[in-house]
Amino acid sequence: MYSENAIEVKNLSKRYQIYEQPRDRIKQFILPRVQHLVGVPQKQYCREFWALNDISLEIKKGETVGIIGRNGSGKSTLLQIICGTLSPTSGSLVTNGRIAALLELGSGFNPEFTGRENVYMNASVLGLSKEEIDSRFGKISAFADIGEFIEQPVKTYSSGMMVRLAFAVIAHVNADVLVIDEALAVGDAFFTQKCMRFLRDFMKNGTVLFVSHDTVSVKNLCTHAVWLEKGNILRKGSPREVCELYLEAFYEAQQGKSSTTTLRASKKSSSPPPQKDQRLEFINMSNLRNDLKIFKFDEDNASFGKGGAQITNVEFYDNNKAPLIWIVGGEEVTLSIHAIAHERLASPIIGFYIKDRLGQTLFGDNTYLSYREEPIACEKESQIVAEFTFAMPILPTGDYSINAAIANGTQEEHVQHHWIHEAILFKSECSSVSTGIVGIPMRRIHLCVPKTSS
């Protein structure tokens, strides 16, 4: 029967038995059976640890799903069960199609075998015949790009070489589902870029299950995200929302329970009436509509922090102090962040990030370096204002948001008092051709065509 799901996980649980001493393992194997036969209460010589607890998940064909969570949350256990290298304690799992996995570094390799021998072994396990491997070995070797080491035992490889070879194999077995567990963090920048190009091409038709601590990669690559914590699914949904909640939990883990953080539902932005716009010249040259929306700062926007200080207003305006509805790359703008201290702040830090619609951080700054040598203390109930004036980079046409935050301490060690997701939103209209996520406003472009001598 045809199913639109590549992976179906239902009520999946995995239990491990933890033993204090090696001999307790033997006791647990023998004594409870004897105690049952003689009719005495059975005693346990181990304690139970549930790595996964009643997990249910559906991943449709063609989706790219990111799994995030702290160490020990059950991410790797879930992937191993999906790949068939680990059996669940209870629950069911259904997979459709060939699954190729890149799990722990070196998993599936025999260290005594050469790279060539491991390629044949791994590819055959994934369902390829010897003739198919023969025809693809040249491409696999070229993708791995480890030169003569392909004929050397894997035990002589560096971690980067091992990842190169493992990824080269899974990239050439015509898999329907790719499972990748943090392994790309080991590779060098050039190889990582090669892997990303392959992944983006594979994602057009295939299914990817991607585990990473890097929330930027999850937001950039994935269509859905799942947050695991202590073997349970805390949240699943859009990568942007799930990663923001994970970030909030990270700060709570670092500095204790927040006074403002709550698990929240998605919130739609309000749309107050448009304000005056100053870039008439650009309007006259474009087909820009007259119904552009502007978004004001809202105290109800999703936020978290200890609560020792609170951001009260965020303003984004041009040199004429006119609030910006939308921006054109290259113009000088000012971002103003107002806050009030609810306790004394010895070294306040106010900062911001500008993010795109996927939640990827494009750029940002804060006040720390400017006042590192002579911090400006902020007494209780006093007001504090930070202004950032800069030339706006050229951003591709679309919607963008500004995250604002106030903390106390240093760049490395600080207490996050108030962090606001999407404090204000704005639109960008691209005034020139730009390549990449952020374009640079050029001061001068000169083209010279030397005359040829006749």
- pLDDT tens per residue across span 229-259: 989 999 999 998 898 888 887 777 666 665 5
pLDDT tens sequence across 304-318:
888 999 999 999 888
Mean pLDDT (whole number) for 296-307 = 69
Q: Rounded to 5 degrees, what angle do the CA atoms 326, 327, 332 make?
A: 140
Residue 233 token pair: 């699914």
Query: What is the reported pLDDT for 4?
Result: 86
pLDDT tens sequence across 161-215:
888 898 899 889 889 999 988 766 666 667 777 887 888 889 888 999 988 877 8
Report, in angstroms and rounded to the nearest whole number, the Rg of the chain calculated over CA atoms: 28
Question: Are 17 and 108 a contacting pair, CB within 8 Å?
Answer: no
Mean pLDDT (whole number) for 41-62 = 88
CA neighbor of 233 nearest in space, from 57, 100, 402: 57
pTM score over 0.75: no
- What is the pLDDT confidence band of residue 108, given thresholds at 50, 70 and 90? confident
In one-letter notation, the amino acid at residue 145 is: D
180: Cα within 13 Å, side-chain hemisphere? 33
At a CB cut-off of 8 Å and minimum separation 6, what does 284 contact? none
Which CA distances in Å does 223 have to 10, 122, 445? 21, 29, 39
- Angle of the 115-125 helix axis to the 130-144 helix axis, nearest 10: 130
Q: How many Å apart are CA 432 and CA 49, to the nearest integer?
A: 58
Query: What is the reported pLDDT for 20?
Result: 82
Please list the residues that pair with 340 across neighbouring strands: 310, 383
Domain boundaries, the chain: 5-244, 292-428
CA neighbor of 382 nearest in space, from 337, 336, 350, 343: 343
CA 315 to chain centroid: 28
Q: Supply φ then ψ for residue 67, to 5 degrees.
A: -115, 120
Homologous superfamily of domain range 292-428:
abc- transporter (atp binding component) like domain (2.70.50.60)
Residue 92 token pair: 């069911």
Which CA distances in Å does 139 have to 133, 143, 148, 399? 10, 6, 15, 41
CA 25 to chain centroid: 40
Which CA distances in Å does 407 have to 284, 312, 339? 43, 14, 11
Question: Are 359 and 243 a contacting pair, CB within 8 Å?
Answer: yes
Question: Are 346 and 377 a contacting pair, CB within 8 Å?
Answer: yes
Q: How many Å apart are CA 324 and CA 335, to the nearest integer?
A: 10
Between 177 and 21, where is the model more confident?
A: 177
Q: Right CATH number for 5-244 from 3.30.499.10, 3.30.750.24, 3.40.50.300, 3.40.190.10?
A: 3.40.50.300
Q: What is the mean pLDDT of the chain?
A: 82
Q: How many Å apart are CA 354 and CA 245, to the nearest integer?
A: 18
Q: How many Å apart are CA 217 and CA 295, to the nearest integer?
A: 27
pLDDT tens sequence across 373-427:
888 999 999 999 999 999 888 888 788 889 999 999 998 888 999 999 888 888 8
In one-letter notation, the amino acid at residue 262 is: T
At a CB cut-off of 8 Å and minimum separation 6, what does 133 contact? 119, 120, 123, 124
pLDDT tens sequence across 258-278:
555 444 444 443 443 333 333
